[in-house]
Amino acid sequence: MLEFDLTEEQRALQSLARDFAQREIQPVALELDGMDVRESFPWDIVKKGSALGLRTMALPPEWGGVGADLLTQSIMIDELAYADMSCCKIFSQCWKVSRHLYMAGTEDQKNRYIPSFVEDDTFVLGQAITEPDVGSDNSGYYDPPAGQGLALRAERQGDYFVLNGMKHMIANGPVAKLFVVTARTDPTVSQNNGVSRFIVPSDTPGFSIGRIHDKFGFRAYPNAELIFEDVKIPVEDLLGGKEGPASEETYMRTVGSIESSSHTMGVARAAFDAAVKFANERVQGGKPIIQHQAVQNTLAELYVALQAGRTLLWRTAWTSTYKEPDAALAGACKVFCAEATRKITQGAMELFGGVGVMRDLPVQKYVRDSLIMLHHAGGTQSMVKLKIGKTLESRYQQGLPVV
């Protein structure tokens, strides 16, 4: 039976995230958004959040975390992203990558990297796949043949792999101390069979940061180019100790979809609350605008989208936490929540009238932040839909239940 009750522990973590978000993030979110992206990284928030365990919470207790499962993470993201999606995503990117290290890493890799991550409040993580010429090719929908697709080369030379090439748009790129990097280990086969993942500390000789991208939303969560020039990675840092396809890939995509949907719904809820407050306080035509039927109708439509998105998100997170991760359901959740949030944030901004587009109120920021989510997180909306379609075809062909 599907239940929406939270456990006591989940409630405690939800309230920890809410208190932190309202106390530390909300007051500075607009200011961070307006800053130069090369200077806005919120180190103070990262350090304070880390001291409360927010950076490391996806790790199990024996590795220094609290073992927050996907549903718990989703509930916490809802609170943090309500205050600011960028600050929230800095933490949750650490959850995703540390989860990946923990799940896929060898015991030796975990022992060498996880303690340093846990002990250092400024240890931020990143994941590097996308390259200037290779984006949707990585979505899991395509499998580029030999000679096409990912070009960052990892060539085996004795006890090392030598990495040459570049990545771009990598989140936490300018600040992360460690990346999980996908590179081509065998250029003679298709991409799916010829790539492997490496643990790359950012102080490795030959590694450098290129351009820092200037986005129109989601601004305090920085993206950058990563440059690899003869970067020597010892064979012990091949993630999981083996080359080729990763068994955890589908699960990690499911995690990514749930995580991004949680961010969008947090922003949507913030925009919706702001709209209801404004509509109650703004008087036109002799009464608060919420008493005009057209405004009530608009708010009702936004409310429908918000509740539908939240319900789908919770069901998806619950299913992936307590049952089997379902990639098609997670994809549907990502597509629906991103679209719903576009509708809710834009609807809220319009309801504010002229002040809606002014930078001194956060409602225009919610729109800019939410639009970014249509462009990434497991792929663009189009690519996620294509993958859903492919999964449905395959389920039907195999005689499996489609839904």
From the CB of 135, what's the least distance to ligand FAD, in Å? 2
156-174: string of b/e by CB count within 10 Å (b at 16+)?
A: eeeebbbbbbbbbbbbbbb
Which residues are near ligand FAD by CB under 6 A? 127-130, 135-136, 139, 169-171, 218, 223, 372, 375-376, 379-380, 382-383, 386
CA atoms within 13 A on the CB side of 151: 12
Please say which residue, 223 or 262, places its beta carbon nearer to ligand FAD: 223
Closest CA to 82 of 256, 210, 262: 262
Please say which residue, 221 or 314, places its beta carbon nearer to ligand FAD: 221
From the CB of 169, what's the least distance to ligand FAD, in Å? 4
Please say which residue, 48 or 375, places its beta carbon nearer to ligand FAD: 375
Structure letter (DSSP) for residue 66? -
Specify the pairing of strand 223-234 against strand 283-284. Answer: unpaired
Closest CA to 366 of 340, 403, 389: 340
From the CB of 235, what's the least distance to ligand FAD, in Å? 23
From the CB of 128, what's the least distance to ligand FAD, in Å? 5
From the CB of 197, what's the least distance to ligand FAD, in Å? 12
DSSP 135-156: SGGGSSS--PPTTSS---EEEE
Please say which residue, 29 or 169, places its beta carbon nearer to ligand FAD: 169
Please say which residue, 79 or 137, places its beta carbon nearer to ligand FAD: 137
From the CB of 216, what's the least distance to ligand FAD, in Å? 10
Kindly list the distances between the CA atom of residue 251 and the CA atoms of 29, 70, 104, 211, 295, in Å, as whole numbers in the listed order: 32, 11, 11, 31, 42
Cα distance between residue 23 and residue 170, in whole Å? 29
> Which residue has its beta carbon closest to ligand FAD?
135
Please say which residue, 226 or 274, places its beta carbon nearer to ligand FAD: 226
Please say which residue, 16 or 90, places its beta carbon nearer to ligand FAD: 90
Cα distance between residue 358 and residue 206, in whole Å? 44
Phi-psi group of 280: left, alpha or beta (phi > 0 → left; psi -120 to 50 → alpha; rest → beta) = alpha
Please say which residue, 295 or 369, places its beta carbon nearer to ligand FAD: 369
From the CB of 225, what's the least distance to ligand FAD, in Å? 11
From the CB of 188, what's the least distance to ligand FAD, in Å? 24
243-256: string of b/e by CB count within 10 Å (b at 16+)?
A: beebeeeebbbbbb
